């Protein structure tokens, strides 16, 4: 189960939703209590809480920060594309 925290959470997941999607793609089911995800269930029916997997609230906060940074970087890239397009257009008009 170390794979979940070390690989999926730390390196692959881009957001909390993406983390859940990766878990499902790897054969796990997300367990919930009162509508909130509380852990996972493996293919054998064994349940694991986030705590037993070594996943803390700080890990989920880090995922939220990573998601915000990804959105910020996408916006910056879009602005750079728009800016370079305007510069090329300006150069053609000269």
Question: What are the pLDDT digits (tens) for 76-86?
Answer: 999 999 988 87
Question: What average pLDDT does this structure show over 45-71?
Answer: 93
What pLDDT is stored for residue 72 in this prediction? 95
pLDDT reading at 75 higher than 90: yes
Question: What average pLDDT does this structure show over 24-39?
Answer: 94
What residues make up the domain containing 72? 2-93
What pLDDT is stored for residue 27 in this prediction? 93
What pLDDT is stored for residue 94 in this prediction? 63
Total domains in the fold of the chain? 1
pLDDT reading at 48 higher than 90: yes
Asked whether the CA dihedral 71, 60, 39, 27 is positive or negative, the reply is: positive
Question: What average pLDDT does this structure show over 49-63?
Answer: 92
């Amino acid at each position: 189960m170390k794979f979940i925290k070390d690989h999926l959470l730390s390196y692959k997941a881009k957001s909390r939703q993406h983390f859940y999607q990766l878990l499902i793609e790897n054969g796990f089911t997300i367990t919930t209590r009162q509508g909130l995800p509380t852990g996972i269930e493996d293919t054998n029916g064994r349940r694991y809480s986030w705590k037993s997997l070594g996943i803390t609230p700080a890990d989920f906060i880090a995922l939220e920060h990573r998601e915000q940074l990804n959105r910020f970087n996408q916006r910056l890239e879009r602005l750079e594309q728009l800016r370079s397009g305007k510069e090329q257009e300006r150069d053609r008009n000269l």
